[in-house]
Amino acid sequence: MHNLSKIELLSVGFMVFSIFFGAGNLIFPPFLAQNAGTSFPIAMAGFLATGIGLPLLGLIATAKHGGRYTQLIDERVHPVFRAISFGLLYLTIGPLFAVPRTGAVSFEIGIKPFLAVGSASTGELIYTAIFFLVTYWLAANPSMIVDRVGKVLSPLLLLFLCVLFARTYYEPIGRILEPVEEYAVSPFASGFINGYLTMDMLAALPFATLAITAIRQKGLTENADICRACIKACIIAVVLMGMVYVSLAYLGATCPSVLGYSANGGIILSSATYVFFGDTGKIVLAFIIGFACLTTSIGVSSAFASYYQYVFDGRVAYKTLLKLAVFFSFLASNVGLTELIRISVPFLVALYPIFIVLVLVSLFDRQLGCSSIVYRWSIGMTLPFSILDGLQAADIKLAGLQELLTQYLPLYAVNLGWLLPALLGVAIGYVLARR
């Protein structure tokens, strides 16, 4: 058995932290806490479960299987299922939602506060056109400068946030109000669903190889040692991300009593920064988040184009796929940040449970007998109900069925109707596999 030194573990832990420390995700905890009010600790517990816990379980599951996660799904479920599910995954973290959000977030925080009333739409069109042209240019001509800028900006953003948090704890903007909307009824479940918006668990599966490679470069070769080191590094990342997200949530919870309720977390961050540091603070935040979002946009767009080039076996050129991804991201980003988030919720509510079940079942692959029957039953039972949850999140009503499910299916009312069928699927698959 070989172990990493404490310094090496810290190094890998910070690297795992940086994978998930995206500027685009900073907008969710303050918005959640704004609406959750005095219930924000409960809501944040749900958010942290899906926003941090599940991504790290995804990393561990991939490490446990030696980085061969797609091959595992081919063997345990079916190659067609893997192709469709991972195709949707890359679309989601690519041009459908995550990449457009980088442009929308950087505009909302960095540019919109300085524009005259009524000029936001034109300003967003011009800004996102420039943003995604630069994304294409740098992703089509990769260089070390992007990695270097990213490595500098993440610590700068973290440092700025630490200063912001210190002011928030020392001198809160206002008092915390009572919860509103769904947070007044089911704060934990609402926070759990909002954790989907980070999309970090989806990103964890294809990008887990970065963490595994970093651990191997430290000299570990045995799969058990790599998995053990990954778990320890993930604990470090969990603590860091938890501190950042909880501090952002506290900031958001203290804002509405003075600043009123905001339409999204980008407005909250920008407004709070102005209260504490004036226009200078807003400019610094705009600069850091703008470039941090740009490096994320470049990296994910490049990963998307590379993946689909592999899917099409090289028949479609990398730059052609990159152009399509960047152009669609530009179009999607111009619906506005609030609308983009609203549109993404039903899609994520339908897609996320599939990968939650895959990750959890693969973590206990050996205990479940390494059986494809367990995987197929669990996915087969989860899929229809996750789609129904997605339809409900989109407010698409199926005559009579909605009332029936609300009455008889536990947690359906809070978009977690897939949970009991998934557990039943695992149990049925396990029993059948042992016969």
* pLDDT of 160 above 60: yes
Q: Which of 296-310, 340-354, 356-370 has the highest mean pLDDT?
A: 340-354
CA distances from 116 to 104, 121, 283, 338 (A): 18, 11, 16, 19
* pLDDT of 127 above 70: yes
- Domains of the chain: which residue ranges? 6-344, 364-435
b (16+ CB within 10 A) / e for 153-180: bbeebeebbeebbebbeeebbeebbebe
DSSP assigned state of 171: S
* pLDDT of 289 above 90: no
Band (1; pLDDT cuts 50, 70, 90) = low
Average pLDDT on 9-16 reads 80
Give the burial class of 265: count Cβ atoms within 10 A of its Cβ; 0-12 exposed, 13-18 middle, 19 or more buried: buried
Note the pLDDT tens digit of each residue in 358-410. 999 999 988 888 789 999 999 999 999 999 999 988 888 877 788 888 888 88
Band (145; pLDDT cuts 50, 70, 90) = low
Q: What is the pLDDT of residue 150?
A: 62
Read out DSSP for 317-328? -HHHHHHHHHHH
* pLDDT of 67 above 60: yes
Q: Could you tell me the sign of the dihedral formed by the alpha carbons of 398, 400, 401, 405, in that order? A: positive
Whole-number Å distance between alpha carbons of 206 and 367:
24
Contact residues for 292 (Cβ-Cβ < 8 A; gap 6+): 22, 23, 150, 153, 154, 157
CATH architecture type of domain 6-344: Up-down Bundle (1.20)
From the list 117, 171, 175, 164, the residue with the least C-alpha distance to 274 is 164
- Where does 198-328 show beta strands of DSSP type E? none
* % of the chain beyond a pLDDT of 90: 53
Contact 160, 288 (CB under 8 A): yes
Q: What is the pLDDT of residue 5?
A: 80
Average pLDDT on 70-74 reads 88
Contact 35, 179 (CB under 8 A): yes
Note the pLDDT tens digit of each residue in 18-60. 777 776 788 999 999 999 999 999 999 999 999 999 988 998 8
Contact 60, 363 (CB under 8 A): yes
Report angle CA 432, 68, 66 to the nearest 5 degrees.
Answer: 100
Which long-range contacts does 269-276 make (Cβ < 8 Å, 24+ apart)? 269/26, 269/27, 269/30, 269/109, 270/108, 270/109, 270/112, 270/113, 272/30, 272/164, 272/168, 272/173, 273/164, 274/113, 275/173, 276/164, 276/167, 276/168
Rounded to two decimals, the pTM is 0.91
Pairwise pLDDT comparison (257 vs 157), residue with the higher score: 257
* pLDDT of 310 above 90: no
Whole-number Å distance between alpha carbons of 273 and 363:
41
From the list 93, 24, 60, 59, the residue with the least C-alpha distance to 344 is 93
CA distances from 193 to 41, 347, 379, 420 (A): 15, 12, 19, 16
**Residue 45: both structure tokens together:** 């517990």
* % of the chain beyond a pLDDT of 70: 96
